[in-house]
């Protein structure tokens, strides 16, 4: 029993001395590594008229549907189109997720029809 108490005391001393050591300097780089650039589709985006037309249609459908559902931010499609990654949101004036989710399958079909690939829907986060 005495040996166990001595071992515990030694471990505690070791842990306490480690806690008192100053942190080691960071030797890495603070520059973020960009693995894949994702382009946010906005009406001001140069070119990509097909994407802007789909987005305008989605916004129109969502605005007409009205503000329904939980308040969600950041929802939309991430996909590859003409060898670039894009993120497409409805840009609806409503934050209720049902406003745009009711036609998200139709939007996905439209993206497929213009040649978009690796399409995933990001559900966003509740506000």
pLDDT of residue 51: 93
* Strands 38-40 vs 76-81: parallel, antiparallel or unpaired: unpaired
Q: Which residue has the tokens 């929802």?
A: 75
Q: How many CB atoms lie under 10 A from the CB of residue 39?
A: 14
- Residue 55's pLDDT is 93
- Cβ atoms of 84 and 38 closer than 8 Å: no
Distance CA 65, CA 81 (A): 28
Render pLDDT for 43-72 as a digit per residue (tens, 0 to 9). 788 888 999 999 999 999 999 888 888 888
Q: How confident is the model at residue 122 (pLDDT cuts 50, 70, 90)?
A: very high
For 24-49, write each residue's pLDDT tens digit.
665 555 554 545 688 888 878 888 89
d(CA 119, CA 121): 7
Closest C-alpha to 77, from 69, 68, 87, 64:
87
Secondary structure class of 41 (helix, strand, coil)? coil
Q: Residue 88 and residue 79: Cα distance in Å, rounded?
A: 8
d(C-alpha 63, C-alpha 92), whole Å = 6
- Of the two residues 20 and 32, the one the predictor is more confident about is 20
Asked if pLDDT for residue 5 goes beyond 80, the answer is no
């Amino acid at each position: 029993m005495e040996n166990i108490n001595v071992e515990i005391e030694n471990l505690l001393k070791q842990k306490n001395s480690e806690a008192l050591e100053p942190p080691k300097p960071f030797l890495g780089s603070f520059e973020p590594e960009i693995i894949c650039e994702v382009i946010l589709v906005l009406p001001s985006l140069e070119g990509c008229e097909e994407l802007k037309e789909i987005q305008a249609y989605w916004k129109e459908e969502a605005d007409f549907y009205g503000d329904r559902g939980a308040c969600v931010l950041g929802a939309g499609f991430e996909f590859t189109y003409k060898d670039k990654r894009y993120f497409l949101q409805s840009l609806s004036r409503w934050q209720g997720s049902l406003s745009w989710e009711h036609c998200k399958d139709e939007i996905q079909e439209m993206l497929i029809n213009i040649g978009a690939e690796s399409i995933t829907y990001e559900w966003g986060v509740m506000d």
